Amino acid sequence: MSSGSDCQPQTLSKPTFGEKEATELVDRVFGLKVSWIRPLPSYDDQNFHVRVSRSKGEAEGADEYVLKITNSEDSQEPDLIEAQTQAMVFLSAEGFPSATPYLTKDGNIMSLEPRGSGPDNKKYMVRLLTYLPGTPVAKVAAKLATNPQIFYEIGKLAASLDKALSEKFHHPSVKSLHRGQFIWNLANVPLLDRYIYALGQNQYREVVEQVIEQFKEKIIPKLSSFRACEYFILNKLC
């Protein structure tokens, strides 16, 4: 079992922009005026739900967006973020419900922005993505036990996404998505050992520990025989 200090580097890399700073970013980088903004939950990036107002004569576009400020570590890998974003554009063009980027004033899909002006200040990759309304699966958990059809639909969508990405998506930087120690890659379930402490004495702790151990014993020895699923490699797009 590891201590809470294991998460410290990740915590330090997460952006901590205030709503006023985020509003200024949208105006300065994307040329849009924010009429309403609120924070959204995120693991190691920082997200804001943004509503914009448009003046007469301005170009048409969505009224609601997600301002995504990538953590300082991933912000150093523009090829990775480029590939992720182009995958989203591809999926949208294929008819999947996927966010798409609003271009910066310079016509780019993202912009590396400093916070402050000192030499030691970190830089963060900033994107403005179209907002997709909906309900997270976690919020309909009560229905899952009585409606297995929801599980089926989730699995069907994941399979369709993977098929489209595997067969049709091509990008020069696509290999950057295959990160060996990426915690969100399902092949890296054993890495979750270091975060068991976060469960404390939660009633599900024993179950989680059993799942990790079974993965080590039954899946890891056969891992090379499985095809990598592009959907789960990309599952942290937003």
Every domain of the chain and the residues it spans: 4-130, 138-233
Which pLDDT does position 30 carry in this prediction?
Answer: 96
Which pLDDT does position 60 carry in this prediction?
Answer: 65
Which pLDDT does position 119 carry in this prediction?
Answer: 61
What are the C-alpha distances in Å from 101 to residues 139, 153, 208?
26, 26, 36
Give the separation between CA 71 and CA 32, rounded to whole angstroms. 23
- Is this prediction's pTM over 0.75? yes
Counting Cα atoms < 13 Å in the Cβ hemisphere of 162 gives 14
Which pLDDT does position 106 carry in this prediction?
Answer: 95
Give the separation between CA 152 and CA 161, rounded to whole angstroms. 14
Closest CA to 26 of 127, 152, 150, 166: 127
Closest CA to 66 of 132, 164, 137, 6: 132
Q: What is the pLDDT along the chain (238 residues), one digit of tens a residue?
A: 333 333 444 555 899 999 999 999 999 999 999 999 999 988 889 999 999 987 666 666 679 999 999 999 899 989 989 999 999 999 999 999 999 999 999 999 999 999 866 666 789 999 999 999 988 777 776 666 667 788 888 889 988 988 998 889 888 877 766 666 777 777 888 999 888 888 888 888 999 999 999 999 999 898 888 776 655 445 554 4
Give the separation between CA 231 and CA 216, rounded to whole angstroms. 22
Q: What is the largest CA-CA distance in the chain?
A: 63
Counting Cα atoms < 13 Å in the Cβ hemisphere of 149 gives 1
Residue 177, burial from CB neighbour count under 10 angstroms (0-12, 13-18, 19+): buried
Q: Say if residues 50 and 65 touch (Cβ distance below 8 Å).
A: yes
| CATH architecture, domain 4-130 | 2-Layer Sandwich (3.30)
Which pLDDT does position 61 carry in this prediction?
Answer: 65
